[in-house]
Structure 1
C-alpha cells in the first residue's frame, strides 16, 4: 500500500515506514526558500546584470517571488524524496506560496505575495482555535512524535499557538502596509524567525509540566 502524502498519526506509524530528516537539513529546507527570497530582493539589480533572463520578470521583488516559488518546490521535493511524506504545515504554506506567487507575477502586483504570510498564519490560527472550540487539540496530531503531553497540556499549547499565529498575521499586515517593500522582506526573513524561536522557547516550561511519565507514554 502506498503511503499518503500527508504524514500519518505518529502513534500509528512504525519507524520502518518513514525516515527522519537530519535536523540541520530540515532547517535548511525550511529557511532556504526564505533566504533565496531575501538575497534576490536585496541583490536584484546585480542578478539582473549577470542573468539577463531575470530582467524579463521585472523588479527585484518579482524576481524574488519567482525564485522563492522555485526554491519552495525544490524544498518540498527533497523532503518528499527523503521521507515519502510531507508535513502538513510546510505543504499548506508551499501551496499558498505558489498560488499567491503566481498571482503576483501574473498581475505584476506584489500585494499578493505580501499577503501570503497573513493568509497562512490566519489559516493555521483559525484551524487550531476552531479545533479547540470543538474540543479537539489539533496540535497534538502534528507534534505527537516530538512530545507526549497530557490532554490539558495539548489544549493549552494549541491555544497558545493558535493565538500566536493570529498575532503573526496581524504583525505582517502592519509591516507590509505601513513600511517599504525592503523593510517587509527584511522583517519576513530576520524578524519572524527570531520571534517564533523565542515564543517556542517560552513554551518549554508548559511542555515540561505536562509531559507524560515514561510508563504513560507506552
Structure 2
C-alpha cells in the first residue's frame, strides 16, 4: 500500500483548484479564436477543453505523488473529465463537456441516494476518518447533500441549455463550487451536535 503523506494545505488547494482556474483563463484568452488542427476547425472553447485535460491529470499526478493518495471522488471526476473532454474533441461539440457537470453531480446524487435506500451513508464511508460524526448526523448530511447535488445537476442543465457559453464557464468555474462550499459550511454548523467528541471515547 502507498503510504499517506502530509502536504501543505495551501499547496493541496492549489493543485485541486488550479486546473479549473487555468481552464477559465485559457478560455478567456481563446474564446474569440478558431484553430485549424488536422484540417478540422475548432473553437477556442474546444481547444481550452483539450488543454484542460492534461493540466488536470498533471495536477492529480503531483497530488498523488505528494500525498500518496487520491480520493474516489477525485478519480471519478478525473475519469468524467477525460471521457467527456475526449468526446468534445472527437465530435468537435462543446455540449459534451458541458453535460459532464450534470452527469458528475447527478452520479453523486444517485450514489448517495442508493445508500440512503439501504439505510447507509456512503458519505460517511468516504469522510468518516476526517469528520467523526454519529450515524444520525451522517444520514442527515447525506440526505441534504443528495438533494444539493440533484439541484446542481438540474441547474447545470438549465444554465448550459439557456445561457451563453461565457456565462456557463463562469458559473461552472466559480458559481457551482462556491454554492456547494457555502452549503457544506452551513450544514456543518447545523450538525455540530452530532459530532463525536474524541475526548469522551
1:35 correspondence with 2:35: no
> For residues 199 and 26 of structure 2, what CA distance do their matches in structure 1 show?
51
How far apart are 1:205 and its partner, in Å?
Answer: 2.3
Q: Secondary structure at the match of 1:100?
A: helix
Contact 2:21 2:173 in 1 (8 A): yes
1:134 has 2:111 as partner: no
Q: Which moved more, 1:168-177 or 1:184-193?
A: 184-193
Mapped partners of 1:34, 1:55: distance in 2: 24
**Separation of aligned partners in 2, 1:142 and 1:64:** 32
Aligned match for 1:144, one of 128, 151, 160 = 128
- Structure 2 residue 132 is matched with structure 1 residue 154: no
1:204 to partner: Cα distance: 2.0
Give the Cα separation in 2 of the matches to 1:90 and 1:126. 17
How far apart are 1:47 and its partner, in Å?
A: 8.3
Q: Which ranges of structure 2 fall in alignment gaps of 5 or more residues? A: none
The verdict on how the C-alpha distance between 1:67 and 1:184 changes in structure 2, with shifts beyond 3 A counting, is same
2:95 aligns with 111
2:43 maps to 59
1:36–1:64 CA contact under 8 A, matched in 2: no
The alignment partner of 2:15 has SS state of helix
Q: Post-superposition shift, 1:141?
A: 1.6
**Structure 1 contact 65–101 (Cα < 8 Å) conserved:** yes
Distance 1:21 1:161, change over 3 A: farther
2:16, 2:60 within 8 Å by CA — same for their partners in 1? no
Question: Secondary structure, in 3 states, of the residue corresponding to 1:58?
Answer: strand
- Cα deviation for residue 175 of structure 1 reads 0.3
**In structure 1, how many angstroms separate the alpha carbons of the residues matched to 2:5 and 2:87?**
35
Structure 1 residue ranges without an equivalent (≥5): 4-16, 49-53
Corresponding residue to 1:70 among 39, 51, 54: 54
Q: How many residues align?
A: 198
Distance 2:21 2:145 in 1: 24
RMSD, aligned α-carbons: 1.8
1:182 lines up with 2:183 in the alignment: no
Give the whole-Å Cα distance in 2 for the aligned partners of 1:171 and 1:23: 30
Structure 1 residues 63-93: Cα deviation after superposition (integer angstroms, max 9, x where no partner): 1101110111111101111122211111100
For residues 45 and 173 of structure 1, the distance between their equivalents in structure 2, rounded to whole angstroms, comes to 21
